[in-house]
Amino acid sequence: MAVIMLEKRDNMGWSSHTRDSICLWFRYAIHPFGIVLLSMLGAGLLVAVGAGIWRVMYPNNDGWKHRSASQEDYMREVRSRNSDALMREGMRTKYKLRTSDPSSSVTPSA
């Protein structure tokens, strides 16, 4: 008995001793890959249903709050300044890289 338990087994859980006498298709109705795939799909469905129930039971009331026009103008101005600063920094770095290369055809202007 111990010899059979220690034999090398295939992917379906059968040893070479029992594989000869029984057809492998009767061991599992679904291939092991299918079992794993169905388990993953079931877990994903369970998470989606749980998230839906959570959203219904505990709604999020801290959603988008309307800002005043002055706050929107201020935020627009700050974004514009930051964008301009990033563009200036990028151009300065690009200019330094081009002028530091002696084979570059770009010549710095005073």
Question: Each residue's pLDDT tens digit in the chain (110 positions)?
Answer: 455 566 666 665 555 555 555 555 456 678 888 999 999 999 999 999 999 999 999 987 777 778 899 999 999 999 999 999 888 888 887 767 666 655 655 555 54
The reply to whether 109 falls in a domain is no
Q: How far apart (Å, rounded) are the C-alpha atoms in residues 40 and 52?
A: 18
Parent domain of 7 = 1-60
pLDDT of 110 reads 47
The reply to whether 49 falls in a domain is yes
pLDDT of 99 reads 63
The reply to whether 23 falls in a domain is yes
The reply to whether 40 falls in a domain is yes
pLDDT of 60 reads 79
- Sign of the dihedral through C-alpha 71, 75, 80, 85: positive
Task: Label residues 60-72 b or e (16+ Cβ within 10 Å = b).
Answer: eeeeeeeeeeeee
